[in-house]
Amino acid sequence: MNMIIATHNRHKVEEFSRILAPLGVTIQTAELTEAEETGETFRENAYIKAKSACDETGLPCIADDSGLSVDALHGEPGVYSARYAPEGQRKQTVLKKLENVPEAERGAHFTSAICCVFPNGDVLEAEGYCYGRISRECRGTGGFGYDPIFLCTEAGCAGKTFGEATSEEKDAVSHRGKSLRLFAEKLENYLKQK
Q: Residues with catalytic annotation? A: 65
Contact 51, 117 (CB under 8 A): yes
The sheet with strand 2-5 has its strands ordered as 26-28, 2-5, 61-70, 107-117, 123-134, 150-152
24 CB neighbour count, 10 Å cutoff: 9
Contact 79, 41 (CB under 8 A): yes
Q: E strands within the chain?
A: 2-5, 26-28, 61-70, 107-117, 123-134, 150-152
74 CB neighbour count, 10 Å cutoff: 8
Does the N-terminal peptide bond of residue 77 adopt cis geometry, omega within 30 degrees of 0?
A: yes
33-67 exposure pattern, b = at least 16 Cβ within 10 A, e = fewer: eebebebeebbbbbbbbbbbbbebbebbbbbbbbb
- CA gap 111, 179 in Å, rounded: 9
